[in-house]
Amino acid sequence: MSKPPLKVFLCAPRGFCAGVVRAIDVVEAALKRFGPPVYVRHEIVHNRYVVEGLKAKGAVFIEELDEAPDGDAPVVFSAHGVPKSVPAAARLRNLVAIDATCPLVTKVHREAEIHHKRGRLVLLIGHAGHPEVVGTMGQLADGAVLLVETEADVERLVIPDGAELAYATQTTLSVDDTAGVVAALKSRFPAIHGPHKEDICYATTNRQDAVKRVAPDCDALIVVGAENSSNSQRLREVAERAGCPTARLVARAADIDWSLFSDIRTLGVTAGASAPEVLVEEIIDAFAERYEVSVETVSTADENVFFPLPRELRPQPA
């Protein structure tokens, strides 16, 4: 029997961003420099395939520093960033701390510190409990940063009289959701200070723009990514809001619920910033077993961003 036709709209950009590439390269360079084991605090990026691949090379993933042995063991901090207390604790234990925080997250940390030095109370737009939010709030003393998740939170804020305010955002948020929260903040606090340059990173914005382009033309859309990946979850939400009837986050081809994709003729495919291209290919191959697939790449931006390794891991001149 002949297979039914399926037009696949492949979003570009998709998948790895410069911060993720750098973080993975940091772990691999540390393994080369120090040899295994190299300890990594938290998943280096939110993707099980990537984590398992690094484990096979000798990386040991831990959630807290006390899981690493005392002494000069190398410990890598994940791309999401960490509170200041973490590198401080590493120094006390003489661990070799290597920071793989995405430079665009570090930018948010520095902005928060500058606002604090200028006497401003910082309002951070983000998702409670996400490691990036924990890390950003941990750059300052308790109470110096207040978390805001929704427009409703803005109305509930209790601000000390006379307080000067500033806001920052998690880098992986929905562009549209965040715009609503920012508008609410500016409406209630007209004098609030914002970032000099948008905190939501270029990769998050570009991937959401590509999904907005293809989603209205798709019967279904798959985001390749992990459940705990904030930017991947936002892509799924963006697809739904843009009019795609079925949008699902899928880690691997084996996780596809085929009952949701039985009668489709058009499929959008994208990948979160921590999902490798091999998993995108795996998903498309799985559909090709059931459909006569034709693929059209829909590109909305070119990305050529590169972040160098931390200084201590860069090749030494001969």
- Quick: pLDDT tens for 187-243: 999 999 999 888 999 999 999 999 999 999 999 999 999 999 999 999 999 999 999
**What average pLDDT does the structure give for the chain?**
96
Average pLDDT over residues 262-282: 97
Average pLDDT over residues 22-36: 97
The structural domains of the chain, with segments of one domain joined by +, span 5-16+202-299, 18-101, 104-188
**CB-based burial of residue 259 (10 Å sphere; 0-12 exposed, 13-18 middle, 19+ buried)?**
exposed
Q: What is the DSSP string of the chain?
A: -PPPEEEEEEEES-S--HHHHHHHHHHHHHHHHH-S-EEEES-SSS-HHHHHHHHHTTEEEESSGGGSPSSS-EEEEPTT---THHHHHHHHTT-EEEE---HHHHHHHHHHHHHHHTTEEEEEES-TT-HHHHHHHTTS-TTSEEEE-SHHHHHH----TT-EEEEEE-TTS-HHHHHHHHHHHHHH-TT-B--SS-SS-HHHHHHHHHHHHHGGG-SEEEEES-TT-HHHHHHHHHHHHTT-SEEEEESSGGG--GGGGSS-SEEEEEE-TT--HHHHHHHHHHHHTTSEEEEEEEE--------PPPGGGSPPP-
Q: Residue 105: is its pLDDT beyond 80?
A: yes
Instruction: Report residue 318's pLDDT band, with 50, 70 and 90 as the boundaries.
Output: low
Report which of 182, 151, 180, 153 is spatially closest to residue 166, judged by C-alpha positions.
Answer: 182
pTM for the full predicted model: 0.93
Give the per-residue pLDDT at 197: 85
Poorest-confidence range of 24-33, 195-204, 271-280? 195-204
CA distance 19 to 23: 6
Residues 279-304: pLDDT tens digits? Answer: 999 999 999 999 999 999 999 999 99
Catalytic residue among 132, 151, 164, 281: 132
Is residue 76 a contact partner of residue 27, using CB atoms and an 8 Å limit? yes
Give the per-residue pLDDT at 315: 80
State the greatest distance between any 2 C-alpha atoms of the chain, in Å, as a whole number: 74
Q: Residue 317: is its pLDDT beyond 80?
A: no
Class of domain 104-188 (CATH, top level): alpha beta
Q: Residue 316: is its pLDDT beyond 80?
A: no
**One fold for 18-101 and 104-188:** no
User: Residue 132 catalytic?
Assistant: yes
Fold for 18-101, please state it.
Rossmann fold (3.40.50)
State the CATH architecture for 5-16+202-299.
3-Layer(aba) Sandwich (3.40)
